[in-house]
């Protein structure tokens, strides 16, 4: 245990050293070679893509929105998968490479990005009201310097060297809801899995709406950008109760009928939660960033970005155990196949 703590501390120290070194390099070389003649890349909506770093041929895939109808106590209920833009992350961000906290240094050192992945938002036309799970991304992220101007240099550096976003205005949640004949004004409840900006930037549409989030996540967020949260943001902080659900045990029941449960799935952040919809025939786990895709849970592959790798492993095991007891569709927020799996009702095990 002591050895592990030492390794973790050494890893964090080394990550800081690499950051300082690369930041110094960046400043030094920028001064020597000012960015004046840098080739600018413009997307179709005319917004500069500020950090298309390793490819001027970036491809922005389109992920189809999907809708299915499920039964809740005999009633037809529609569930929608809406894609609110895409994000590419460093490959070492997506997959952990390196021992303990050293894996985080490898994110900064990595030059390679994944393909552009979807940023899913889930919508449930529940009999109790229209429910949105996470709020997706918005076009403000496209001008990252302006968007994060009130954040520390360290946080800006981290984001700039880990992720590249691509969001058209038509990807934002208000447009996406209109496409399925719904309006942001109709939403009764917003559920957040955690406080990372690609899950909270769409909050701008939900002033005066009820927003819920786990008490611990709200009070102890990990790697979030506080200045990007709306000034009016005062969510209802919820706590889990015992004996509510198999395997996970603790849950907060969102609906009176207990068919929608908020469960602890820590790892990605310390207070990360997922949402379980218990339909008459199967369950759906809206998993946030518990893993980046379904294969990671099956194979045990961890993401490089992770508040607690051990907790992530335990969460994976619980999800697999739960899915072996209950037919479960597992839907992470950035899985390229989440929409397809929902549509085809593909179960985790």
Binding site for Zn ion (CB under 5 A): 196, 289
Measure the CA–CA gap between 283 and 341, rounded to whole angstroms: 13
User: 10 Å Cβ neighbour count for 297?
Assistant: 24
DSSP 334: T
**Quick one: residue 331, left, alpha or beta (phi over 0 = left, psi -120 to 50 = alpha)?**
beta
CA atoms within 13 A on the CB side of 235: 25
Find the shortest distance in angstroms from Cβ 269 to Zn ion. Answer: 7
Measure the CA–CA gap between 187 and 203, rounded to whole angstroms: 12
Measure the CA–CA gap between 171 and 148, rounded to whole angstroms: 21
Which structure tokens are listed for 309? 């790798």
Parallel, antiparallel or unpaired: strands 117-126 and 187-191: unpaired
- Residue whose CB is nearest to Zn ion in the complex, by number: 196
Find the shortest distance in angstroms from Cβ 323 to Zn ion. Answer: 22
Find the shortest distance in angstroms from Cβ 10 to Zn ion. Answer: 26
Find the shortest distance in angstroms from Cβ 113 to Zn ion. Answer: 17
Torsions phi, psi for 259 (to 5 deg): -95, -5
Find the shortest distance in angstroms from Cβ 39 to Zn ion. Answer: 31
Q: Which is nearer to Zn ion, 259 or 289 (CB)?
A: 289
């Amino acid at each position: 245990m002591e050895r592990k703590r030492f390794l973790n501390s050494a890893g964090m120290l080394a990550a800081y050293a690499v950051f300082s070194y690369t930041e110094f390099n960046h400043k030094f070389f920028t001064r020597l070679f000012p960015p004046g003649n840098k080739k600018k890349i413009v997307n179709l909506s005319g917004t500069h893509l500020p950090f298309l770093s390793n490819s001027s041929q970036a491809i922005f895939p389109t992920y189809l929105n999907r809708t299915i109808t499920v039964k809740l106590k005999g009633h037809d209920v529609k569930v929608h998968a809406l894609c609110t833009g895409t994000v590419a992350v460093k490959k070492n961000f997506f997959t952990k490479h390196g021992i303990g906290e050293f894996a985080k240094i490898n994110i900064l050192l990595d030059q390679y990005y994944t393909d552009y992945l979807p940023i899913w938002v889930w919508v449930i036309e529940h009999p109790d009201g229209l429910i949105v799970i996470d709020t997706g991304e918005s076009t403000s992220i496209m001008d990252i310097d302006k968007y994060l101007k009130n954040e520390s240099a360290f946080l800006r550096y981290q984001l700039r060297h880990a992720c590249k976003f691509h969001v058209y205005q038509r990807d934002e949640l208000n447009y996406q809801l209109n496409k399925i004949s719904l309006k942001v004004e109709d939403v009764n409840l917003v559920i957040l899995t955690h406080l990372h900006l690609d899950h909270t930037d769409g909050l701008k549409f939900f002033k005066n709406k009820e927003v819920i989030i786990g008490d611990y996540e709200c009070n102890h967020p990990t790697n979030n950008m506080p200045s990007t949260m709306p000034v009016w943001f005062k969510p209802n902080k919820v706590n889990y109760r015992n004996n509510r659900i198999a395997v996970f045990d603790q849950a907060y029941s969102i609906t009176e009928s207990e068919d929608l449960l908020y469960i602890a799935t820590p790892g990605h952040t310390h207070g990360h939660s997922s949402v379980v919809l218990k339909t008459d025939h199967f369950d759906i786990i809206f998993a946030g960033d518990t893993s980046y895709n379904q294969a990671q849970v099956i194979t045990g592959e961890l993401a490089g970005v992770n508040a607690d790798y051990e907790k992530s492993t335990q969460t994976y095991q619980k999800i697999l155990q739960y899915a072996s007891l209950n037919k479960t569709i597992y839907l992470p927020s950035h899985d390229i196949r989440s929409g397809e799996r929902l549509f085809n009702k593909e179960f985790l095990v």
